[in-house]
Amino acid sequence: MSEARMIILAADIGGTQARLLLAEAQGSQWQPVRQAVLPSQAFASLQELLAQFLEPGEQPNSACLALAGPVHQQQVQLTNLPWQVDAGELSRQLHIPHLQLINDFAAQAHGLPLLPDSALTTLQAGTSRLGTRALLGAGTGLGMALLGGTAQHPLALASQGGHADFAPADEQQIELLQFLRRHYRRVSLELLLCGRGLSRLYAFFTAQAADHPQLPDARQISRLAEQGDDAARQSLELFARLLGSAAGNLALTSLAEGGVYISGGIAPKMLPYLQQPAVLQAFADKPPMQALLSGIGLHVVRDELLGLHGAAQVALQLARRH
């Protein structure tokens, strides 16, 4: 089959939704053929889901599947689905000769160079776009990844940095840590910077148990804030500052001179809170590194297809290598 007819398959599989893309390779780019969103939990396995998406006669030359979970020797146990996935087995079952599994945030990192400026909200412009790029995103959990290498040979590094320790930065956050320690043996960043984490912040401000099963969820808290609920507003403001601080720590850890990108389902929905000066202060006020951090770009990604497009880019590279 000539390169002009080369077909690639990409997927971004989350605990709730699976985004899938069939595309045709055209030189160094790809053009979409068909795209779908399917409910992940409606399928007993990833093979069953992919078989549902692929129509008779559609035979991809390569595939890249982005999955929420650590990838070890091309095997994954998904975090939020009871699926165990083996790339070799899936390749044989679906007759796809070249199939690769990658972490979902590594896929998002691969998608960063494809993003147009129109898909970004810049919180801090920074002074350079050259160098390592860092990505973190809050949703069901808190994911992180890095992108290095070159445009021709990008290197995406997966991470489990969302499970790093939460480090309080002021008296209020020390009180928050003490509050959470009543319910949790260990307080990680992800315990706070996810949808359920916003509920825990609301519990903190309303003196409820942090693990109470009937706390309002993230959408309800946003609605309460719009209605003038002070605790909901404080929860969103603190969430934004904590996310800004975590982004600054990631920038220091990775020396992300290419910028830090905040993705995930939560950030685009709370842009007014992320655009407050206190967020940039939390990002950059880390003595003695204030000048360094003030020169690093900080951006919110508003494109929910970032991971899918990154997976497509990997599938394209995979096809071209073979």
pLDDT, residue 5, reads 78
pLDDT, residue 3, reads 44
Query: pLDDT tens digit string along 84-141?
Result: 899 999 999 999 999 999 999 999 999 999 999 999 999 999 987 789 999 999 988 8
pLDDT, residue 106, reads 94
Task: State mean pLDDT over 274-294.
Answer: 97
pLDDT, residue 199, reads 97
Backbone region of residue 215 per phi and psi (left: phi > 0; alpha: psi in -120 to 50; beta: other values)? beta
Q: Output the average pLDDT for the chain.
A: 93
Query: pLDDT tens digit string along 214-257?
Result: 999 999 999 999 999 999 999 999 999 999 999 999 999 999 99
pLDDT, residue 286, reads 97
Task: State mean pLDDT over 134-149.
Answer: 93
- Tokens representing 238 are 């603190």
Element holding 242 (H helix, E strand): helix 230-254
Share of the chain above pLDDT 70, in %: 99
pLDDT, residue 69, reads 82
Element holding 320 (H helix, E strand): helix 306-321
Residue 157 in this model has a pLDDT that exceeds 90:
yes
Which sign, positive or negative, has the C-alpha torsion 244, 122, 250, 314? positive
Q: Are 46 and 65 in contact (CB under 8 A)?
A: yes
Residue 1 in this model has a pLDDT that exceeds 70:
no
pLDDT, residue 223, reads 96
Question: pLDDT band at residue 150, thresholds of 50, 70 and 90?
Answer: confident
Rounded CA separation 202/216 (Å): 8
- Cis peptide leading into residue 288 (ω within 30°): yes
Rounded CA separation 106/156 (Å): 6
Query: pLDDT tens digit string along 12-51?
Result: 998 788 999 999 998 888 999 999 999 998 999 999 999 9
Query: All domains of the chain, ordered by start, with CATH?
Result: 3-110+305-321 (3.30.420.40), 117-302 (3.40.367.20)
Q: Are 302 and 111 in contact (CB under 8 A)?
A: no
Rounded CA separation 192/166 (Å): 8
pLDDT, residue 322, reads 73
